[in-house]
A and B are shown apart, each in its own frame.
Chain A
């Protein structure tokens, strides 16, 4: 099935550093979502974006919906050890009740204290 191009695949950083990851698609989306998943848990919604160009923050996290509607990025500032996990982007495609999320392959983040 269709998947988003998410990069980087993994990151290993020092505590306090800023992090940036992005997703691109060949298709236009109306909604971009960013989730974080920790081992053995379900994904937790971090940020939802609904309009092209929208820039939204959630604490140390900032995400933007690209103007072309084909990309989005997520930034984490001043990383801390609890930021460790896998970050997934997801785009909403199709219309109607059965709209389904198209997923990126995830960015695995490791933070060295």
Chain B
């Protein structure tokens, strides 16, 4: 139980385009979802926290207009990287928390912006 999926696992896009990443909790309802970014050999950096049906709460320094988060249902959250630039290339990981009180993580999405 407590499985979280992410799609796509890898994406390459051109600079200036937008990319949407989906995060789904497959076997539980996630009242809260989290989006992280991770650079090579570093720990996870929290970008934003979203509760179902509410606006996301962004961490300091994270541009909310650039990283659009939608948590439309108890099993789905999306992160859209708008007008992507090469410096947005990174490993993006979502996690979900619901009835299991711990946080369970998705497998991550490797974004490369060329």
> Chain A residues in contact with chain B, CB under 8 A?
1, 3, 33, 35, 40-45, 48, 88, 97-98, 100-101, 103-106
A104 to B44, CA, bound (A): 9
Shortest distance between the CB of A5 and any CB in chain B (Å): 12
Contact between A98 and B32, CB atoms less than 8 A apart: yes
Contact between B102 and A42, CB atoms less than 8 A apart: no
Contact between A42 and B107, CB atoms less than 8 A apart: yes
Instruction: Tell me if B67 counts as interface (CB < 8 A to partner A).
Output: no
Contact between B31 and A88, CB atoms less than 8 A apart: no
- Total A-B contacts with CB atoms under 8 angstroms apart: 51
In this complex, what residue of A is CB-closest to B10?
A: A40
Contact between B105 and A88, CB atoms less than 8 A apart: no
Contact between B108 and A101, CB atoms less than 8 A apart: no
Task: Answer whether A3 and B43 are a contact pair too, CB < 8 Å, given A33-B102, A43-B105, A48-B102.
Answer: yes
A43 to B42, CA, bound (A): 13
Task: Answer whether A45 and B107 are a contact pair too, CB < 8 Å, given A1-B59, A98-B51, A100-B49.
Answer: no
